[in-house]
Amino acid sequence: MTVDPQQIAVEGAAAFVAAESLAEIHELELQYLGPQSLLSGMKASFRDLEPEERKVLGSQMNAARQQLELAAQDSRSKLESAARAAQLATERVDLTETLAKATVGHSHVITQTWERLEDVFCSMGFTVADGPEVETDWFNFEALNLPPAHPARSLWDTLYLDSSQLEGLGEEQLLLRTHTSPVQIRSMLRAVRDGSGPPIYVVCPGRVYRRDTADATHLPVFHQIEGLVIDRGITMGDLAGTIESFVKAYFGDEMTSRLRPSYFPFTEPSAEFDISAADGSWLEVGGCGMVHPNVLRAGGLDPQEWSGFAFGFGIDRLAKIRYGVEDLREFVTNDVRFLSQF
């Protein structure tokens, strides 16, 4: 049998290229290069050859062996690096901090409610007014027909500021406003001063403070929206109609409102306004009434010429009703699972 080393080399190299595992390469090495291989076996026939032929065949065999060794090495390193890459991929620990999901934030539910209320009242012809959260006793109480030591002051648990350290404030007692009603006075004085009114049709949403412990129905810091209408010949009927229109615009046509006699020093007569609930019961929303003559006077207006109504209610409480929230504290706990629902 004549065997051609070159042919063995070509055939073996192809086998190494096709090998799919290190074990297979090992098998091929034994087959093509091992002591039992054809190449090794050819040495036995050397002694029958002429020296010249021996030389030629010898160098052909060496070349073939070299070629096969290279092919084995090549194939082995390819398989090894593929195995290493696969291992790296499975053992990879990703330490990169990634944003789980690019979620887009949105306004807080109270802000949404606040803005919606502004929209509803603006569509009814009101403009938006504002005033400071730190108020004087005069704006928060006295001008609203609550002179010092008036017993009704106890309806508003007030946080007073120690202004003795602040120079130039005079005798003014400062406090955190307990309601948005001081903006009634500010709006009247502003309108008179710059000649823009009356008539005055304003709403004032804002933050208010009370010395209260937070529970399911109270927050020490919460939000109110105040409404003030001053014009000629304004009646209680205008007040009732405005409240009813607002309730329908905000909650929907199936909702209705009612007024219940009540007491506030700054309105006369005064009422509490309620809205109908789905189960036929009534939910108390806020206070309202005809602006008291003393309040008109404090605002620089003549009660003989002008009359008006005012109302005020809690924005947080309204959101609580609208969205069926059990506990007002949910609004300030900032739990994203709660907030993302709105």
Is 246 a binding residue for ligand PHE by CB under 6 A? The answer is: no
Instruction: From 212-220, 297-305, 307-315, 317-325, give the range in contact with ligand PHE by CB under 6 A.
Output: 307-315
Is 131 a binding residue for ligand PHE by CB under 6 A? The answer is: no
In DSSP terms, which residues pair with 291 in a beta bridge? 267
Alpha-carbon distance values, 327 to 6, 214, 249, 333 (Å) = 89, 10, 25, 11
Question: What is the residue type of 196?
Answer: S
- Considering only residues 287, 317, 325, 328, which one is a binding residue for ligand PHE as defined by CB under 6 A? 287
Residue 271 Cβ vs ligand PHE, minimum distance, rounded to whole Å: 8
Site string for ligand PHE, 172-211 (x = CB under 6 A): -------x-x------------------------------
- Considering only residues 32, 306, 311, 331, which one is a binding residue for ligand PHE as defined by CB under 6 A? 311
* DSSP 3-state of 218: strand
- First-last CA distance in the chain: 89
Tokens for 281?
């019961």
Instruction: From 89-97, 244-252, 273-281, 284-292, give the range in contact with ligand PHE by CB under 6 A.
Output: 284-292
Cβ closer to ligand PHE: 198 or 289?
Answer: 289
Is 267 a binding residue for ligand PHE by CB under 6 A? The answer is: yes
Instruction: Restricting to residues 142-171, name those near ligand PHE by CB under 6 A.
Output: none
Helix (H) or strand (E) holding 250: helix 236-251
Contact 317/288 with Cβ under 8 angstroms?
no
Question: What is the residue type of 98?
Answer: T
Q: What share of the chain is helix, strand, coil (3-state, %, to 5)?
A: 45, 20, 35
- Considering only residues 8, 229, 310, 328, which one is a binding residue for ligand PHE as defined by CB under 6 A? 310
Kindly state the number of chain residues that form the binding site for ligand PHE, as judged by CB under 6 A.
Answer: 11
